[in-house]
Each structure stands twice: as C-alpha cells, then as structure tokens.
Amino acid sequence: MMRMDNLIPVDQLCTHYHVERSFFKGLMEFDLIQVTTIEQTHYLHVDSLHEFERIIRLHQDLYINFEGIDSVLHLLKKIEALQTELSEIKNRLGLYEN
Amino acid sequence: MAFIDYYKVLGLEKKASESEIKKAYRKMARKFHPDLNPNDKEAEKKFKEINEANEVLSNPDNRKKYDKYGKDWKHADEIEKAKQQQASYEQSQRSSGGFGGAYTDDDYSDFFGSMFGGGRGRSAGVKFKGQDYNAELHLNLRDIYHTGKRTLTVNGKNIRLTIPAGVKNDQVIRIKGQGGEGINGGPRGDLLIRFVITNNTGFILDGNNLYKTIDLDLYTAMLGGEITAETFTGKVKLKVKPETQNGAKVKLKGKGFPVYKKEGQYGDLFLTYQIKLPTKLTDREKELFSELNKIRS
C-alpha cells in the first residue's frame, strides 16, 4: 500500500505555484518529472518537490522551454557528478600533501 | 550595506532604456542563476546583486530615486515614508523627529536577500519556497565514526540534527524546511550543511578504508609471532607470519570506516609493517649477525 502522506496532488501544486495544468502536462510529456497516478489522479512525490521548484524557476526566471530544461538538467547532473568526483579527488590529494 | 552601482552590475550606462535593462538582466540571470551554478557561492552572490539591480532599475519610481539620490536613494525613500507616517501619526510618537528606523539596511537586505527561490517583483503574490541557508560544520574524524546528534544554531535558532556515520569531508547534506521563511505563504527553504572533517587520528582515510603504518621488530618479522595493533576502535591481537618483509600489508576486514547511510557496513583497515632494525648492537649481537651473514653468503 502506497503512503499517501508523501504524495501531493498535481492540481494542488498547480494552484500553489500558480502554474497552468498544461505546464505540468508538458513536464510529464518531456519526462522531466516523475508522477504517481492513483485512480486517475496525478501526484508528485514530496522528494521531487525540490526538482519541480528548480524547473519552475528555470522556466519562469530564465524563460527556458521544456527542451532547454531537459538539456540543462542533464548538464547539471553531469556538473554535480563532476563536483562530487572533484571533491573525492581533493580528499585523496590531501592524503599525499599532509 | 555598501553602495552598489546598479548600472555597473548590469553592465549598463545610466541612459539605458527599459528594454536594455530587461535584456541585460535576462542575460546576466542566465549566466549567474543559482540553479545553473550549483554550489557556487560567488554566482549566488552575483545573482542577488543583479536581481537587486533589476528590482530597482526596472521600477521607474525606484530608478528615478536612485538616479536622483545615488547612494542615498534609500534614505530618500525613508524621508518619503517618514512624511507619510507623519500624516498618519501624531508628532509625539516620534522622539527625535527623525526617521524612526522605518526602513533599515537589514530590511532592505532581507527583501532582496530572498531572491534565490524567493519573491520577484513580477511575480508578486505567488507562493515561493524560502531562501536556502548555507552552513559549515567542522568535525573530527572520530566524531563521525558513529551516527550522532548535534545541535546547530542557525540564525539564532537551535536545530537538532542527526549526522550519519561516514559522512565525507566537503559533503553537503540538505535539511528540509530549516531555511528562510517562504514567500507569500510558500514552504520554508532548506538548510544546506557542508561538512569539514579534520583528521588527527593517525589513520589515513581513503573512501571507506583506513590505512596505518605500524612498527614491527626485526625478530618477530623474521621468526613470526603475535603483536598488538591499534585499530580505530581499539586494540587487536595479530599473528605475524615468519619472514614478513618490510612494507608488507595486512588487511583487517570490516575494521575500516562506516559506509555512509549503510548501517552495519564498514570498509577495511590496511596495516603496513615497517620493520625496525636494532641499533646499539652489543659485541655478542654483532658476532651473531656476522655468523648469520657467513651462513647466508
């Protein structure tokens, strides 16, 4: 049985963030966000809220369309992976410098 | 708060048109937006500056005041506000006839400081998540061997948090809902904690494995025996094989560092033997070593 208290109805999110229902539909079509569907109602998991807000900001602040957001998110993932790798390598380098 | 030349921030001249301001702001926002520059504090600072510049220059009233009063433009705003207040309140409410601290630098900073994920002029009324706070936590390697609780004071508020064992140096963890207040009733921002781990334990940590060099006397190395070695959690007895070479390594499985967020899983401990040769030999010892040498040659 899925825990409902971690799921936010998409309609509620659209109202809360003042975005059109079509905006959410676009996100789903471009696989930019993962939604859970229960009895024909779409829900967003609370853990995806941070990503969802980031997408809204990219769209509203920088006027980036869905294709652009897809590319940006892909590149950001790469940057984050590289930053983690860099941090690990710096830690290892510290072993030899001390 | 130091005076900032908003035109300079956006790379504009004072006579810039509204469309030039808009264009410059959008261009700079694309370059410095925090979502496009993760973990880049400089970009975040720059983004706040360009937002602040845009908030002022894209608003004709504010721009007018800014152009007229320059660095004192905020002061001019206070005067206007004070005048409005004068009309509404009795004169006696003011002790000095001054500005009554109506609009301080702090208020100003808070207003514009909420730009990251916060309210923008054009989206007034929209609910937005509050500002994310960044904090640094300095710990010793011993502190993170076990999962533990710590109390942090962030902006005067005590936050009790659980630090999972095995957290890495420079790692950032996000504590949901412990950041700034949401805008227009939006959810609170998050608290991002960066860990700075110092190590004065004598053990070297690489990934989840620990490394240490230990001394081994010549005779135990040659003939074998039992020694006591120090691990991160205490002493253990080790059997040494006869004819152990200098630099030989032994692996103590599961005696390394805990794996982050994987309870019960540990790395390994690698001990490197450094054979200590005897010094200040007696005549008898020299005699015996000579004899050994003859046998070997």
Query: Which ipTM value was assigned to this complex?
Result: 0.74
B196 reaches A (C-beta below 8 A):
no
Q: Report CB contact under 8 Å: B168, A87.
A: yes
pLDDT of residue B21: 93
Whether residue B224 contacts residue B241, with contact meaning beta carbons closer than 8 Å, is answered with: yes
A87 reaches B (C-beta below 8 A):
yes
pLDDT of residue A68: 93
Whether residue B260 contacts residue B166, with contact meaning beta carbons closer than 8 Å, is answered with: yes
Question: From the centroid of its chain, how far is CA B233?
Answer: 28
How many CA atoms, within 13 angstroms, populate the side-chain half-sphere of residue B117? 25
Q: Which among A58, A63, A91 is the nearest to B169, CB-wise?
A: A91
Task: Tell me the average confidence (pLDDT) per consecutive run of 10 residues in chain A, 98 residues long.
Answer: 76 88 90 90 88 91 91 91 88 77
Mark out the alpha helices in B89-191 (DSSP H runs). 105-113
Segment B203-225, tens digit of pLDDT: 999 999 999 999 999 999 999 99
- What tokens appear for B178 in the block? 């412990």
Q: Which residues of B touch A87 (CB under 8 A)?
A: 168-171
What is the extent of the structural domain holding A25? 4-97
Q: Report CB contact under 8 Å: A57, B169.
A: no
Average pLDDT of chain B, as a whole number: 82
Q: Which long-range contacts (CB under 8 A, 24 or more apart) does A60-63 make?
A: A60/B123, A61/B29, A61/B33, A61/B120, A62/B26, A62/B29, A62/B30, A62/B33, A62/B36, A63/B26
Element spanning B161, H or E: strand B157-163
Q: Which among A58, A87, A92 is the nearest to B35, CB-wise?
A: A58
DSSP tag of B170: T
Q: Which among A57, A83, A91 is the nearest to B117, CB-wise?
A: A57
Cβ neighbour number for residue B30 with a 10 Å cutoff: 14
State the Cα–Cα distance between residues B110 and B112, nearest whole angstrom: 6
pLDDT of residue B279: 93
Residue among B22, B28, B36 with most chain A CBs within 10 A, to mutate: B36
Q: Which residues of B touch A72 (CB under 8 A)?
A: 36
Q: Report CB contact under 8 Å: B33, A57.
A: yes
A28: domain CATH number is 1.10.1660.10
Q: What is the largest CA-CA distance in chain B?
A: 111
pLDDT of residue A3: 66
Mark out the alpha helices in B70-214 (DSSP H runs). 73-88, 105-113
pLDDT of residue B41: 83
**B173 vs chain A: nearest CA distance in angstroms?**
13
Domain boundaries, chain B: 6-116, 133-198, 204-296
Q: Which residues of B touch A20 (CB under 8 A)?
A: none
Q: Report CB contact under 8 Å: B170, A90.
A: yes
CA angle B71, B74, B77 (to 5 degrees): 140
Q: Which among B38, B129, B186 is the nearest to A76, CB-wise?
A: B38
What is the chain B residue with the closest CA to A73?
B36
**B102 vs chain A: nearest CA distance in angstroms?**
31
Q: Which residues of B touch A63 (CB under 8 A)?
A: 26
Number of domains in chain A: 1
Q: Report CB contact under 8 Å: A91, B170.
A: yes
Q: Is there a common fold for B6-116 and B133-198?
A: no
pLDDT of residue B127: 57
State the Cα–Cα distance between residues B43 and B60, nearest whole angstrom: 27
Secondary structure of residue B79 in the 3-state scheme: helix
Query: Does the domain spanning B6-116 belong to CATH 3.90.280.10?
Result: no
Per CATH, which fold does B133-198 belong to?
Answer: HSP40/DNAj peptide-binding domain (2.60.260)
Question: From the centroid of its chain, how far is CA A42?
Answer: 16
**Residues lower than pLDDT 70 in chain B:** 1-2, 77-128, 183-184
Segment B237-247, tens digit of pLDDT: 999 999 999 99
Query: Is this structure's pTM higher than 0.90?
Result: no
DSSP tag of B10: T
State the Cα–Cα distance between residues A49 and A6, nearest whole angstrom: 11
Q: In what order do the strands lie in the sheet with B172-175?
A: B133-140, B191-198, B172-175
Q: Is B181 exposed, middle or buried (0-12, 13-18, 19+ CB in 10 A)?
A: middle
Query: Does the domain spanning B204-296 belong to CATH 2.60.260.20?
Result: yes
